[in-house]
Amino acid sequence: MEKTAFGLIGKNISYSFSKRYFENKFQRLMLKDHAYDLYDLQDIAEVQRLFEKPNLRGLNVTIPFKEKIIPFLDELSDEARQTGAVNCISIKNNIKTGYNTDVFGFEKTILLHRNENHRSAIILGNGGAAKAVQYVLSQNGIDFITVSRKSEQNFENLSPETVTEHLLIVQCTPVGTFPSVEDCVQFPFESLTKQHLVIDLIYNPSETAFIRNAARQGAKTVNGLYMLEQQAEKAWEIWNR
């Protein structure tokens, strides 16, 4: 009998947290007929062959396919449609529905750590993860500016004064992810204070160069592990509806 299949699609994902997380979950729940695999795709079009797998019930989606996967799906949840990014797919009766559980994971993170001073934010990056962060901040009435390589406000011209005015910083780029752990986006760290909350969505390594630099200025720092666990739990809930 074929196992009920789940997995992760992305590029260069051998380091992934998801496989270990879900295999441990299957073990705890004694689900011997469940399997979780990594699908390292070079091109998103390869997903069509994967969708033909008869026992496939759900997929997680990571960089660089969170936006590119959308044309291959049948339906989108509200938050996936509004963010334009999908990181979780449920497959039922051959209907492939895209969700954004990053939204759920980031909202849990921000509600846990923010205080009343964190009324405006700087979002670093503008990819799929940043779209989820933008959505959550909007839903919670937190103003934000987005800094990316191509935006008007970019890494070259982000001023110390702007950082002083925004006490919440969310690092959404993959810069500094294992194995390139010494890499760090350009940022005026000297403007950070003890009032700042700095969230780096990277979880591997647990302490990025960005977080180390922020912590040296006394800022409160949070990595992406809790968000990752929360979005994984939300995915599991969706797959089992």
- SS3 category, 21: helix
pLDDT at 119: 96
pLDDT at 2: 84
179-222 pLDDT, tens digit per residue, is 899 999 999 999 999 999 999 999 999 999 999 999 999 999 99
Asked: is 103-227 a CATH 3.40.50.720 domain? The reply is yes
Fold agreement (4-99, 103-227): yes
Neighbours of 207 (CB within 10 A): 14
Q: How remote is the C-alpha of 135 from its chain's centroid?
A: 13
Question: Domain 4-99 class?
Answer: alpha beta
Q: Per residue in 149-163, is it b (16+ CB within 10 Å) or e — as a string?
A: eeeeeebeebeeeeb
- SS3 category, 191: helix
Give yes or no: 66 in active site. yes
Query: Could you state, in order of their start, the residue ranges of all structural domains in the chain?
Result: 4-99, 103-227
11-43 pLDDT, tens digit per residue, is 988 878 899 999 999 999 999 999 999 999 999
Task: Kindly state the average pLDDT of the residues 2-16.
Answer: 90
pLDDT at 128: 83
122-173 pLDDT, tens digit per residue, is 999 998 889 999 999 999 999 999 999 988 889 999 999 999 999 999 999 9
pLDDT at 197: 98
pTM for this model (two decimals): 0.91
Q: Which of 25, 53, 66, 194 is catalytic?
A: 66
pLDDT at 152: 86
Question: Mean pLDDT of all residues in the chain?
Answer: 95
Whether the pLDDT of residue 56 is over 80: the answer is: yes
Residue positions counted in the chain: 241
